[in-house]
Amino acid sequence: MTTSNLAHTNRRSVLKSGVAAVGGLLTASTVLGRPYLARAQAAKPSQLTMLYATVEADSDAVKTLLPQFKSLHGIDIAMDTMPYNALQQKVFAELASKSAYYDIVIVDAPWMSAVIDNIHPITDMILDSNLTDAAEFDLTDFIPKVFYDTAVFKPSASTVHWSQSGDVDAKAIKQGGFEIYGLPIQANALTMSYRKDLFEDADNKSAFQAKYGKPLAVPETWDDFVQVASFFTRPRKRLWGTTLMAGAGDWATDDFKTMLASFGGDGYMINDKFEPVFAGPEGVAALTFYVDLINKYKVTPPGTTSASWDTAATEFETGLVAMSMNYHTETLNASVHGTMDYAMVPKKVQYGPHFGAMMLSVNAFSKNKEWAYRTIQFLTGKASQAAMLPLQLHPTRRSAYEVAAKDPSYAQKFGNFYPVLGKSLENGVGRPRLKNYSDVDRSIWVAVNDAARRATTPEAALAKAAAQVKTQLAQAGYTPG
């Protein structure tokens, strides 16, 4: 990837120019596909190793499938896991050392631009009928948005987004000059959980009606949200309206970009031309509202300006809040004696919950690439995803959501979670594709945290972050234009 071709590439819309080259590429892909046909049965290893996330991508669910794979193919899958807070370092370290140890690695969407040279593209294997039964595997079953955001990248320009939104079509991807770099397995999106028992409580209902002149309902807009959250905030009874994750960390950036998108801004935060676009009027309005929730309306529990996703989860679990926004199913402690359900994160002018999926990819240095591919194909297949539902996998296939919708036991166990997650993914906003995203991410969360604890104003915090991000993008060779 060079600076010069980046400068001229218009991200997310490169396909337009690529269409002209379709004919030539079609031939190229058939030629490229041939080596796999020639040696369809690669030497079979007795064991494959996989680096995976601990709970954040639901390793418990994946574990349950491994015996089945073993009985099908006679291959043991040795799975090592790391918690998310150390996972990026671990994955990058493995790939940087060009080690063949892990055949399969988990890759989170924002890392891909940095590690693209070390991940083996699997488009040809998907198109190879000896390796993939197209009908059974059914690529079109993947949620297109999740699939494109997570797995489809342009080898020569890792910052470019695939612009289509229709069903996933490996041939079209190849023809567009893109490649598929893995298969999404866990799709996380910001969803709202709420205390059903508090919303259904008769006293609460009548008190809310009396105070606001309308029925108490789960809020769908931020304006309603402020009212409901204020209504439930009763510090003396150790109850607050909502959690937020305004502490210094990745979670604060993700909170902000959800707000930014819902206030009508570009939730990607960096536009096609490598310009920061989060400090404009929508950004300032979004961050001001976010800060106001904490400091003006005071609907969040103490500790919000140092909170992260685990503290938010604990606060909901222990019954301290009426509502919470997080990336997974939640539970209430037995001592809370409450009930709960899920809803979409509210909107201002539109929905824009932050989402990001993790995929299983083939290590470019693996000595067993074909079997690694077969493994991830198995693990992300229709049957597997459906089988992992009871253990709270966040599926990446539409069929899994249909299974969850049809079987009442899921509604019983997880309430609305799967329908809400499915809809949130449809409306979700991903992240910019930058090899130094972690730098950009940090500048933004520092701004959000600074503003949230009123060390500075939202305008000043965002302006400072935008200036820093400009420098960071220039240092990474991303020139605006």
Partner 1 sequence: MRKLAPLLLRLALWAILALTLFPIVWMVVTAVKPADMSQTLPPVWVFRPTMSNFVSVLTGKTYASQNFGVLLLHSLIVTVASTLLALLVGVPAAYGLARVRFRGRRAAATWILSTIMFPPAVSVVPIFILSARLSLTDTYPVLIVPYAAFSLPMVIWMLRSSIKQIPFEIEEAAMVDGLSQLAMVRVIVLPLLVPGIVAAALLSAILSWNEFLFALTLTRSKVQTAPVGLNEFTSMYGTQWGQLTAAATVTVAPILVMTLVLRRRLVEGLSFGAVK
Partner 2 sequence: MAIPGAATAGGAITGPPPPRYWVRHRVALTGWGLLAPALIVLLIMSVVPTIYLVMFAFQHVDLLGPGTKFVGIQNFERVLGDPEMWSDAGATALYVALAVSIQLVFGMALALMLNRKMRETNLLTALFILPLGVAPVVSALIFRELLNPVYGWVDFYLQSWGLMGDPVDWLANPLTAWISIITLDVWQWTPFVALILLAGLQGVPQEPREAAVVDGAGPLSLFWHVTLPLMRPFIAIALVLRAIEAFKTFAGVYVLTGGGPGTSTTLLTLDMYRIALQDFDVGAASALGICFLFALSFVMSRLLAVLAKSTDILED
Binding footprint of partner 1 on the chain (CB under 8 A) = 51-52, 54-56, 59-60, 78-86, 89-90, 93, 96-99, 101, 238, 309-310, 313-314, 317-318, 327-328, 333-335
* Closer Cβ to partner 1, 57 or 168, answer by number: 57
Give least dist CB 450 to partner 2, A.
5
Each residue 385-424 as x (binds partner 2 by CB under 8 A) or -, in order, gives ----------------------------------------
Give least dist CB 449 to partner 2, A.
6
Judge whether 153 and 111 are in contact, CB under 8 Å: no
| Piece in contact with partner 2 (CB under 8 A), picked from 143-151, 244-252, 373-381, 403-411 | 244-252
Residue 306 interacts with which of partner 1, partner 2, none, CB < 5 to 8 Å by class: partner 2
DSSP code, position 248: S
Give least dist CB 297 to partner 1, A.
24
Residue 303 binds to partner 2 (criterion: CB under 8 A): yes
Task: Name residue, tokens 């009508």.
Answer: 264
Residue 375 Cα distances to 49, 70, 98, angstroms: 10, 10, 21
Give least dist CB 280 to partner 2, A.
22
Give least dist CB 186 to partner 1, A.
11
**Which spans in 74-195 are helix H?**
84-96, 112-115, 123-127, 134-137, 144-151, 170-175
Residue 428 interacts with which of partner 2, partner 1, none, CB < 5 to 8 Å by class: none
Give least dist CB 89 to partner 1, A.
7
Among 10, 17, 129, 318, indicate the residue that binds partner 2 (CB under 8 A).
318
Residue 249 binds to partner 2 (criterion: CB under 8 A): yes
Residue 333 interacts with which of partner 2, partner 1, none, CB < 5 to 8 Å by class: partner 1
Half-sphere exposure for 154 (CA within 13 Å, toward CB): 24
* Closer Cβ to partner 2, 3 or 129, answer by number: 3
**Nearest residue to 243 via CA among 329, 287, 302:** 302
Three-state SS string over the chain comes to CCHHHHHCCCCCCCHHHHHHHHHHHHHHHHHHHHHHHHCCCCCCCCEEEEEEECCCCCHHHHHHHHHHHHHHHCCEEEEEEECHHHHHHHHHHHHHCCCCCCCEEEEEHHHHHHHHHHEECCHHHHHCCCCCCHHHHCHHHECHHHHHHHHEEECCECCCCCCCCCCCCHHHHHHCCCEECCEEEEEEECEEEEEHHHHHCHHHHHHHHHHHCCCCCCCCEHHHHHHHHHHHCEHHHCEEEECCCCCCCHHHHHHHHHHHHHCCCCCCCECCCCCECCCCHHHHHHHHHHHHHHHCCCCCCCCHHHCCHHHHHHHHHCCCEEEEEECCCCCCCHHHCCCEEEECCCECCCCCCEEEEEEEEEECCCCCHHHHHHHHHHHCCHHHHHHHHHHCCCCCEHHHHHHHHHCHHHHHHHCCHHHHHHHHHHHCECCCCCCCHHHHHHHHHHHHHHHHCCCCCHHHHHHHHHHHHHHHHHHCCCCCC
Residue 322 binds to partner 2 (criterion: CB under 8 A): no
Give least dist CB 381 to partner 2, A.
30
* Closer Cβ to partner 2, 429 or 465, answer by number: 465
Within positions 28 to 47, which residues make up the interface with partner 2, using CB under 8 A?
Answer: none
* Closer Cβ to partner 1, 51 or 183, answer by number: 51
* Closer Cβ to partner 2, 62 or 440, answer by number: 440
Among 54, 75, 76, 92, indicate the residue that binds partner 2 (CB under 8 A).
92
Give least dist CB 4 to partner 2, A.
14
Residue 317 interacts with which of partner 2, partner 1, none, CB < 5 to 8 Å by class: partner 1
Among 121, 301, 430, 458, indicate the residue that binds partner 2 (CB under 8 A).
301
# residues near partner 2 by CB under 8 A: 38
Residue 93 binds to partner 2 (criterion: CB under 8 A): yes
49: left (phi over 0), alpha (psi -120 to 50) or beta: beta
| Piece in contact with partner 2 (CB under 8 A), picked from 140-148, 179-187, 202-210, 296-304 | 296-304
Within positions 450 to 469, which residues make up the interface with partner 2, using CB under 8 A?
Answer: 450, 453, 455
* Closer Cβ to partner 2, 397 or 433, answer by number: 433
Among 39, 238, 296, 367, indicate the residue that binds partner 2 (CB under 8 A).
238
List contacts with partner 2 (CB under 8 A): 1, 88-89, 92-93, 95-97, 114-118, 238, 247-249, 301-306, 311, 314-315, 318, 320, 436, 438-439, 442, 446, 449-450, 453, 455, 475
